[in-house]
């Protein structure tokens, strides 16, 4: 069973995407930028992304504890350590598989980071049909 989860992006219907898609007990969270934190440093932007992601995960009956994979896209290589420390604040115990990539640009030029996440929701948290 598939469940599309919408966010607040006005681009969702134009581009044709969902903020997240849950299929069974697997959840794929689209690349999430630090909306509302444009003027913050990389660490602040990363914390904002985790707040947005936590809200979306909750809508799918999941949490950050269910995340098994992250993909982080940085626009400034020198931000890797600050971003990595924030990632560790949230995932130090969970330790998902993680990739960190430096890219030329993101959709919003003031964003220093964008993150994708995949989660596998424990069967105990999986609503019965």
In CATH, what number is assigned to the domain containing residue 84? Answer: 3.30.1330.40
49 lies in which domain range? 2-125
Residue pair 83/43 in contact (Cβ under 8 Å)? The answer is yes
Q: What is the pTM of this model?
A: 0.91
Tally of domains in the chain: 1
pLDDT of residue 125 exceeding 60: no
pLDDT digits (tens, 9 = 90+) for 45-102: 999 999 999 999 999 999 999 999 999 999 999 999 999 999 999 999 999 999 999 9
Look at residue 88 and give its three-state secondary structure.
helix
pLDDT digits (tens, 9 = 90+) for 111-120: 999 999 999 9
Element (H, E) at 4: strand 2-5
The whole-angstrom separation of Cα 65 and Cα 46 is 17
């Amino acid at each position: 069973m598939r469940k599309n989860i919408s966010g607040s992006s006005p681009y969702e219907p134009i581009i044709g995407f969902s903020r997240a898609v849950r299929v069974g007990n697997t959840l794929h969270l689209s690349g999430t930028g630090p909306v509302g934190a444009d003027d913050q440093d990389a660490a602040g932007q990363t914390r904002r992304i985790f707040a947005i992601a936590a809200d979306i995960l909750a809508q799918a009956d999941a949490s950050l504890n269910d995340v098994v994979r992250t993909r982080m896209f940085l626009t400034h290589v020198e931000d890797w350590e600050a971003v990595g420390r924030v990632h560790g604040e949230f995932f130090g115990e969970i330790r998902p598989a993680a990739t960190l990539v430096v890219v030329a640009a993101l959709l919003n030029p003031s964003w220093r980071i964008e993150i994708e996440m995949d989660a596998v929701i424990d069967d105990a948290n999986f609503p019965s049909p």
